[in-house]
């Protein structure tokens, strides 16, 4: 059983005080020490899933792992992933710079994205990013122009949309024809011809695709591999090339609720390699880019309960319980209708309480700021600390200062030790970049 199939971090337990602990750290103590909301990241869980991936593909040395940085990109996370032998898929100058400042060999970095700016491209070239995933005609021309100005040759992959609609939320599907990402298969010959005959500073190494996120249906990956290999064979034959790299993206799902049943990483490995072995074409280098499945299970978020209210809807009582965070530190429920599991941290104190169905609401001024709609818990009271599981991916990375609220801190836990890896924002941080023109000053 791989780590992405766990709902909670693998070190989660109830300690002798009757409190939930993760990484040997009492969550009630963490809430008291660092305040809430608080992101907590379990190092053992994070390293565990990295090793699950490496072990699953150990018999297939052609496969290289790259972490999809957009899931969660902090300096400490980058250091851990680098130690575990992962490269990095980046989509912005901020991610590139974070990876660079964390001491990563930049040849292991790919720059991806559908609208890279000149400034971002220049930074990536100056920092010697190893690969560009070229997404569109505009980018190919711009990248070649900048590379020519800098007298550089740039290794590139072509980002393709293979026409696969995986069964996931429409906002996180990326491989279907109607997508903002990549070249569709009818455009491949045109862009390849430009690269071969006109854009002399671009060196085409292979193709890249990504079909979506939170995927449970492994056949989608087999279909993707089939399409990409056939496209490589066709390109090689038509343009007399020898493309030797194929990046199949990531997207493996995780377990957010008890009902979720994501595939094991080993099953993913079997499907991908079986699909590759059906073809005679040799692909010396194959990249895999897991993101959510690497970081999500390792993270939880702690909140403190505040106000509550009950409403009577058609003779049915509904109770709202509000916490001190919400859509600004976890926008996924309001964006994707994402579902989560939560528990009270002080298990022993809750054991005598009557269970009731409650809706956990956020503190932000939006009716849609609901973290969990109707979950059964021992009756929450003001001051209780709640733990929401599986929040490592796309929570901090998508967090905002909506309502001018400070972003939470993040701590890394391991062997009963906790370390701040992202500081809690202060009120001064919120106004740091504000400026009042002289004409408005008193």
User: Are 423 and 397 in contact, with CB atoms under 8 Å apart?
Assistant: no
Q: How far apart are CA 74 and CA 244, in angstroms?
A: 32
Q: Known catalytic residue: 387?
A: no
User: Exposed/middle/buried for 258, CB within 10 Å: 0-12, 13-18, 19+?
Assistant: exposed
Name the 3-class secondary structure at 234: helix
**First and final C-alpha spacing in the chain:** 64
- How far is CA 328 from each of CA 235, 395, 403, 426, rounded to the nearest angstrom? 45, 9, 8, 15
- Paired tokens of 233: 């064979």
Which residues in 58-201 belong to E strands, given as ranges? 63-68, 87-90, 109-111, 131-134, 154-161, 183-184
Catalytic residue among 25, 166, 261, 365: 365
Q: How far apart are CA 242 and CA 237, in angstroms?
A: 9
- Paired tokens of 290: 């897991």
User: Are 71 and 294 in contact, with CB atoms under 8 Å apart?
Assistant: yes
Backbone angles phi, psi at 404, to 5 degrees: 55, 45
Q: For CA atoms 143, 148, 150, 153, give the dihedral sign.
A: positive
Q: How far apart are CA 333 and CA 257, in angstroms?
A: 13
Question: C-alpha angle 241/244/250, rounded to 5°?
Answer: 130
Q: How far apart are CA 241 and CA 285, in angstroms?
A: 16
Residues carrying an active site annotation? 365
């Amino acid at each position: 059983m791989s780590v992405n199939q766990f709902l909670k971090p693998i070190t989660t337990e109830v300690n002798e005080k009757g409190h939930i602990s993760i990484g040997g750290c009492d969550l009630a103590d963490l809430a008291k020490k660092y305040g809430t909301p608080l992101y907590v990241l379990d190092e053992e869980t994070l390293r565990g899933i990295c090793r699950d991936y490496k072990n699953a593909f150990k018999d297939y040395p052609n496969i290289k792992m790259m972490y999809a940085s957009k899931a969660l990109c902090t300096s400490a996370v980058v250091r851990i992933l680098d130690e575990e032998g992962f490269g990095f898929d980046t989509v912005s100058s901020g991610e590139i710079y974070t990876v660079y400042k964390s001491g990563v060999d930049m040849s292991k970095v790919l720059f991806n994205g559908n609208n890279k700016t000149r400034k971002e491209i220049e930074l990536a070239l100056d920092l010697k990013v190893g690969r560009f995933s070229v997404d569109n005609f505009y980018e190919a021309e711009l990248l070649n122009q900048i590379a020519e100005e800098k007298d550089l040759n740039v290794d590139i992959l072509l980002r393709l949309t293979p026409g696969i609609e995986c069964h996931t939320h429409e906002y996180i599907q990326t491989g279907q024809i109607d997508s903002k990402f990549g070249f569709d298969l009818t455009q491949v010959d045109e862009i390849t011809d430009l690269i071969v005959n006109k854009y002399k500073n671009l060196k085409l190494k292979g193709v890249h695709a990504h079909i979506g996120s939170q995927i449970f249906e492994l056949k989608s990956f087999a279909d993707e591999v089939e399409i990409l290999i056939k496209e490589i064979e066709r390109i090689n034959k038509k343009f007399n090339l020898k493309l030797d790299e194929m990046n199949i993206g990531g997207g493996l799902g995780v377990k957010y609720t008890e009902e979720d049943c994501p595939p094991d990483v080993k099953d993913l490995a079997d499907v991908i390699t079986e699909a590759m072995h059906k073809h005679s074409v040799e692909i010396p280098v194959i990249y895999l880019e897991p993101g959510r499945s690497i970081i999500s299970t390792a993270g939880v978020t702690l909140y403190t309960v505040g106000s509550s209210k009950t409403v009577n809807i058609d003779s049915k009582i509904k109770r709202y319980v509000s916490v001190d965070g919400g859509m600004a530190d976890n926008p996924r429920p309001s964006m994707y209708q994402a579902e989560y599991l939560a528990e009270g941290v002080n298990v022993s104190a809750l054991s005598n309480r009557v269970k009731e169905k409650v809706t956990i609401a956020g503190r932000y001024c939006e009716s849609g700021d609901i973290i969990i709609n109707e979950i059964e818990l021992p009756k929450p009271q003001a001051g209780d600390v709640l733990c929401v599981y599986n929040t490592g991916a796309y929570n901090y990375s998508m967090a905002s200062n909506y309502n001018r609220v400070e972003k939470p801190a993040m701590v890394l836990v391991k062997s009963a030790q906790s370390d701040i890896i992202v500081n809690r924002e202060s009120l001064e941080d919120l106004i740091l970049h504000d400026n009042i023109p002289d004409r408005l000053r008193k």
